Amino acid sequence: MRGIRQIFDDLVRFETVLWAEVDARLRRQCTLSLGSLNVMMVVDATPDCRVYDIARALEITVGGASQAVDRLESAGRCARRANPADRRSSLIELTGAGRTLLGEAVAVFDEELDRLLREPLGQGDLDRLGTTLATLRRAASGAGPQP
Amino acid sequence: MRGIRQIFDDLVRFETVLWAEVDARLRRQCTLSLGSLNVMMVVDATPDCRVYDIARALEITVGGASQAVDRLESAGRCARRANPADRRSSLIELTGAGRTLLGEAVAVFDEELDRLLREPLGQGDLDRLGTTLATLRRAASGAGPQP
DNA sequence: TAAGATTGAAATGTCAATCTTA
DNA sequence: TAAGATTGACATTTCAATCTTA
């Protein structure tokens, strides 16, 4: 009998190890943290990307997303430009150097995901995991905190 | 086609939301963070518990575990006592107040896990998720970082 | 030398207050 | 008023250096 606490534990601890290992390799090979890579992937995939869009995609606060963009901008990897449609916000874009770095980093990222997710499971179990996680995320994000 | 990046994203983001929601309810109802609860559960379950044992169980660094014990000890929820078998380390135990609080907190914890893990999935898919996560964790923790 | 632990500094997130514009 | 963003204070973690004991 696997208790539900054990499942929580394996979920959280595996996520910790997965994050730490991918992060360590990205820092060594690309001088880029996994947190920053995640932000860059959202910026790259979102047309007219605002700080708010990053916060929602990564399930972090708007304040945290603003600071993450600050760090990327200081490193010359993204830039804020004026939003012609709404002067309260900026549109965030990758710089040329940012796009180049992103290409290198996602290659490393995919290698690590293969090693730590696909190889231990195989494609069938991996697909079932994906379906299950999508269900869980939809339920948790949709319901919101219990009032 | 669910890509492997999407699976990583759902895993990390669901874990973020799960942690945040359980943490928020524990802070409101028990004046206890989820991080501290995890430490207390390890201390409670481990005979002759040392800082090193906490670090390994939670997949965090020894330094982080030491500071987490500091915080619990300051709150009067655990105590270090001398280790008669090895004077480099201490044995960590819950105080009476700590044990009482732990009992209240795990009840809330279990309710939240039911709400956020079992209810969206049902028992069958939950069990399959548990098996898959155990496989992933064993593979990742066993292999260690890629040299 | 190595193992266990502690500590201070840096990274990164949350929260709350505040500012600007819709 | 509300929405989007920024900022400063705080919490928690990692990393490296250091200390004590095996």
- DSSP characters for A25-51? HHHHHHS--HHHHHHHHHHHHSTTB-H
> Is B71 within 7 A of strand C by CB distance?
no
User: Cα-flanking dihedrals φ and ψ of residue A6, to 5°?
Assistant: -65, -35
Mean pLDDT of chain B: 96
What is the pLDDT at residue A41?
Answer: 99
Nucleotide nearest to A85 (CA to C1'): C22
Mark the nucleotides of strand D covered by protein, meaning any atom under 7 Å from a CB: 3-8, 11-17, 20-22
Q: What is the pLDDT of residues B91-105, one digit of tens each?
A: 999 999 999 999 999
Q: Considering only CA atoms, which of B76, B78, B74, B67 is closest in space to residue B40?
A: B78
pLDDT tens-digit profile of B4-52? Answer: 999 999 999 999 999 999 999 999 999 999 999 999 999 999 999 999 9
- Cβ count within 10 A of residue A63: 10
CA distance A128 to B8: 13
Q: What angle do CA B147, B137, A65 make, to 5 degrees?
A: 80
| A78 SS3 class | strand
Which tokens belong to A22?
A: 């991918």
pLDDT at A147: 47
Chain A residues touching residue B128 (CB < 8 angstroms): 128, 132
Q: Residue B146 pLDDT > 90, yes or no?
A: no
* B15:A17 CB<8 A: no
Which nucleotides on chain C have any atom < 7 A from a protein Cβ? Answer: 3-8, 11-17, 20-22
Distance from CA of B82 to the nearest CA of A (A): 29
Closest-approach residue (CA) in chain A for B38:
A9
Distance A118 CA to D12 C1' (A): 31
Residue B55, C-beta contacts closer than 8 angstroms, at least 6 positions apart? B61, B62, B64, B65
The reported pLDDT for the residue numbered B142 is: 76
Q: Above 80 in pLDDT, residue B69? A: yes
Partners of residue B12 in chain A, C-beta under 8 Å: 15, 19
Sequence letter at residue A71:
R
Phi-psi region of A62 (alpha: psi -120 to 50; beta: other; left: phi over 0): alpha
pLDDT score, position B145: 59
Inter-CA distances, A34 with A20, A121, B8, B89, B118, Å: 9, 23, 12, 34, 30
Look at the pTM and tell me if it is higher than 0.85. yes
Taking Cα atoms as reference points, which of A74, A136, A47, A39 lies closest to residue B132? A136
Within B 110-139, residues with CB less than 7 Å from strand D: none
Closest CA relative to residue A23, chosen from A10, A12, A36: A36
- Ranges in chain A, pLDDT < 70: 1, 143-147
Which residues of chain A does B59 touch, with a Cβ-Cβ cutoff of 8 Å?
13, 16-17, 20
Sign of CA dihedral B12, A38, A143, A137: negative
For residue B111, give the nearest of A138, A5, A59, A15 by alpha carbon.
A5
Neighbour tally for A119: CB within 10 Å: 12
Task: With H, G, I as helix, E, B as strand and everything else as coil, classify residue B91.
Answer: strand
